A and B are shown apart, each in its own frame.
Chain A
């Protein structure tokens, strides 16, 4: 049977038009048994392709279409050694023919000399003697592996014409070289050919243009066996050899069969390859297991737990599972990375299910005691699963690359590389790229792209027809007139195609010295060696993948702790802080947790307002509940009712009480599901976890049902088993891994603890590292509400970062000044103290605009004791222009000496008004420090009797109020009913205001909500808990626009406007 030996996928970036999975499915549909993927200069799609082939039961063939000099040729791997050759060739930055000659001499590759090879190009140019010489050279290297690839797209007189293929066939026959047929397929069906034209245009960054379109016609698709047989006949007949058509097909088949790869034997699917134990142990000779045991013992001892029987038992169980699976080296490798990190004084903590393992706790990989929090090892590491477990570690984000360097340095470039990820087409890029290819005006495309939410490209029509804020746009009109059909068709077709390979934000890959023979490596934009494979591929191949996640909160915590040391001279061991601190829980219950990890979002503040967590375990529950699944399923309300004692917690059977007690009878955690299955059926936790995983799949669920009933009925009555099954069925997919939540709860608690005890240090941390969702101006306001004084920018005191100066004051960082470079900050720090502006100008050499901004932001006020009756910032600005004038015209700076001594002259100018000061602050530092922006609308707000955030708690449910503020964030989270809800958070200096816009309000106000910055909002008060409060919005207006109207037409016009807009239907 014929097989396509030369096809490309979208991994041939800006060239191939199809996703590998679609390619394989199309081949299956056409009845092929073999299929090759030969992308241009890359193997990035190889593993995804082979995986798709496995599923479709197609024999995979892997190759690469290499560009060397001006020609292209396809090399196909015959076996694992051939694949290693391909990996090495792809990894070379400057590929030459000599590299290829060297690899093909090993006899593990098949060379296809096609129309674009140096041989094919000579044939096309009708230089038959040259073609003959080139062919002879290839044959002299390895006769058995050279085949001539015939391609005809039935084009007129060019490389892809039947006559050219016929000429190649004649030469093949004359030299007794095998000729195979391919279709150099670039798209799946003729209908996709347009996509190829668009990609050509995107690649060369021009609009589609006849001279630059690569294809001749739409014949380069994945043709059927029948169509290919016809082509073979056409080429053979044109060569005057009509009887050898079947031989061409036969040769093609032979090559396909000799290159079919076995995913397990040839590529190592499902194997595990860790760094060599000697490497991990630094040459120590005793075994990995002995080393692991010793390390765990030492770790437990450091927590004072080494003699507790519960811990000893658990450690033994875990170690025996690890030993049986042969994973000791894996744990030692991760522990080694964590140790390297700690040695550099970088905070590190495991996240995810890894926190369930005592071994991880003992090795210092995780900071959560799994026994104290009822976490299970089986959720993380199961004797029933032989794939490597997944450990993700969180580190300080601003120091993540230092850890990469240390890992690569420790294990070597041949064992440790970074992971890549595919940036794929989504709607905005697709709109931009297709629009540019079609030659539409850049400005309009840009508007269109920005107006769309970040959705899949294939959902573009759905968004246009459904989103109210788009309905007023020009595109919507064109769309309804059908004028965008062609455009949107192409946008949809780009959906999910890879755009480029980027360095994965956290993945590091570790393996043994065979690594570079099993993965292609390219250099990332930042210069790191990077596998072309992504995380799924790497998992398939069994490499050790470690996620080193940069977490800004870890940086912020680290900064805060060092600030405490500085101002209080106190060493805080934040990782060992008391988890039952009263002050911390009071702060959590107050919901004033802006800046705290995980719980600062409006939704979370609402939830903790209702929930009032009192213990660390409550925090774990809270984090587990605040997820789309539970929020959508409506399990929160019954949970809170039971918790508050409004309804009694129900337990189906006394046996279940110990499992469900911590969550008042509601299943919240995966761990609880595992325990329930285990107790009902008598199976092990490991087995129960397998069943739990299968519960997510509907068909498997049915199978488990039988198993569950059969076993559970031996222990419990039918009614209990039926009820229990109902719970498992409905909650299994919503549950959350408790270990994961516990690992998250730790930085949540730590950050809140810091806010409760050391607010100045806490705010210095979060303002420096900006870990959360809120703009700094809101956090600065919050700091003021926590009695932290914000000290102004000061040229002699402000540091690179935010610094706590006392327990309740905090200094703005120099790096906040707009446009200041790191280099300039360094120079200021190096040359200070400065005694005058002239001194500063003379020594620091900071640019004029930045100096001006420093003056306007008040950085020189302390030197001149501003404001005073003689001088103000305007005088400094005038002095600056004199300085620039003198130094600018006088390279020897003779005049500067005079200026340096000279007092600044007062020009008796009026000082800046408050209005101007705040405007400067916002422009230069991005925040309003001297007063809140809404202050400038105070007369209007007073006339409208606008209510402030701090006063909301005193108002009754459902009261209609007007509020004003600055936008903090908008969110459109998934919601139970499936209807879209828009959450708007704003602030008015006294605290945040959360307003909810339901669908009926969106048509009229969504555009304002998304596009304005300062708002007047009308809404009704909704109390969500003892401290929780939000607004159901019934109106939203742009405040500056209203103010304009107020100033020109008075308060009556405003009131009329408000009265005429739709009200809430009660």
Chain B
């Protein structure tokens, strides 16, 4: 299953790209977009129709910095085709 373990995050876009997001009650600013790709969801394996109907995952790998802090890291932000909700799947600090 390549559906990633993920947490819901709130993401703000600029020119169609992730620009800012809130995670763990902290605000982050995207400073660099590393790559962006699409992945399918294993629709046939989903026991939950809701997941099967989410469709494709669009993944943005970005470098982001915590606002008012020096900490930050590489984040994978996921947007599902049929869902306005964003998820955060991976963090490399």
- Which residues of A are at the interface with B, using a C-beta cutoff of 8 A? 153-156, 161-162, 190, 193-194, 197, 208, 210, 213, 215-219, 437-439, 486
Contact = CB atoms under 8 A, between A and B. Distances in A.
A197 B38 contact: no
B53 to A, nearest CB: 9
| B2, B44, B52, B81, most chain A CB atoms within 10 A | B44
Contacts of A217: 37-40, 56
Given A218-B38, A219-B38, A190 B44 contact: no
A156 B59 contact: yes
Given A156-B59, A190-B56, A218-B56, A210 B38 contact: no
A809 B81 CA distance: 76
A210 B56 contact: no
B37 A154 contact: yes
A155 B43 contact: no
Given A208-B44, A210-B2, A486 B37 contact: no
Contact of B42 (A156, A210, A218): A210
B18 interface: no
Interface string B57-92: 001000000000000000000000100000000000
B44 A154 contact: no
Given A155-B37, A193-B40, A197-B44, 20 more contacts: A154-B36, A154-B38, A155-B39, A156-B59, A161-B37, A190-B56, A190-B81, A194-B43, A208-B44, A210-B2, A216-B40, A217-B37, A217-B38, A217-B39, A218-B38, A218-B40, A218-B55, A219-B38, A438-B44, A486-B49
Contacts of B35: 156
B78 to A, nearest CB: 12
A903 to B, nearest CB: 71
A219 B58 CA distance: 11
Contact of B37 (A156, A213, A218): A156
Interface of B: 1-2, 35-40, 42-45, 49, 52, 55-56, 59, 81
A486 B39 contact: no
Contacts of A437: 44
Task: Determine the main DSSP class of B at the interface with A.
Answer: mixed
Contacts of B49: 486
Contacts, number: 47
9 contacts: A155-B37, A156-B37, A156-B39, A156-B59, A190-B81, A193-B40, A197-B43, A210-B42, A216-B40
Contacts of A190: 55-56, 81
Nearest to A197: B44
Nearest to B37: A156
A560 B47 CA distance: 64
A685 B48 CA distance: 67
B7 to A, nearest CB: 21
A162 B35 CA distance: 10
Contacts of B36: 154
A439 B42 CA distance: 14
Nearest to A157: B37
A193 B39 CA distance: 12
B73 to A, nearest CB: 19
Given A197-B44, A208-B44, A438-B44, A155 B38 contact: yes
| 7 nearest CB pairs, A to B | A217-B38, A156-B37, A208-B44, A217-B40, A154-B38, A218-B56, A154-B37
| B38, B49, B59, most chain A CB atoms within 10 A | B38
Contacts of A154: 36-38
A194 B44 CA distance: 9
Contacts of A439: 44
Given A156-B59, A197-B44, A208-B44, A216 B39 contact: yes
B22 to A, nearest CB: 26
Contacts of B38: 153-155, 216-219
A213 B39 CA distance: 12
A163 B18 CA distance: 21
A161 B40 CA distance: 14
Contacts of B59: 156
Nearest to B46: A486
B56 A486 contact: no
A194 B52 CA distance: 11
Nearest to A190: B56
Nearest to A210: B42
B49 to A, nearest CB: 8
Nearest to B40: A217
| B37, B43, B49, B55, most chain A CB atoms within 10 A | B37
Contacts of A213: 40
A438 B46 CA distance: 11
A9 B45 CA distance: 27
B40 A215 contact: yes
B52 A486 contact: yes
A162 B39 CA distance: 14
A155 B45 CA distance: 21
| A156, A210, A217, A439, most chain B CB atoms within 10 A | A217
Contacts of A194: 43-44
A439 B47 CA distance: 13
A427 to B, nearest CB: 21
Contacts of A210: 1-2, 42, 45
Nearest to B2: A210
Contacts of A216: 38-40
A194 B56 CA distance: 11
Contacts of A208: 44
A153 B39 CA distance: 10
Nearest to B59: A156
A210 B40 CA distance: 10
A242 to B, nearest CB: 15
A215 B44 CA distance: 14
Contacts of B42: 210
Contacts of B43: 194, 197
Contacts of B45: 210
A162 B33 CA distance: 15
A190 B81 CA distance: 10
Nearest to B57: A217
A161 B38 CA distance: 10
A138 B17 CA distance: 41
Contacts of A155: 37-39
Contacts of A486: 49, 52
A213 B42 CA distance: 10
A966 B44 CA distance: 46
Contacts of B55: 190, 218
Contacts of B40: 193, 213, 215-218
B3 to A, nearest CB: 11
Nearest to A193: B40
Nearest to B43: A194
A1031 B1 CA distance: 61
B14 to A, nearest CB: 18
Contacts of B37: 154-156, 161-162, 217
A482 to B, nearest CB: 9
Contacts of A156: 35, 37, 39, 59
Nearest to A156: B37
Contacts of B81: 190, 218
Contacts of B1: 210
A694 to B, nearest CB: 48
A560 B49 CA distance: 64
B82 to A, nearest CB: 11
Contacts of A218: 38, 40, 55-56, 81
| A154, A194, A213, most chain B CB atoms within 10 A | A154
Nearest to A155: B37
A365 to B, nearest CB: 56
A437 B43 CA distance: 13
Contacts of A153: 38
Contacts of A162: 37
Contacts of B44: 194, 197, 208, 437-439
Nearest to B38: A217
Nearest to A201: B44
A183 to B, nearest CB: 13
Nearest to A213: B40
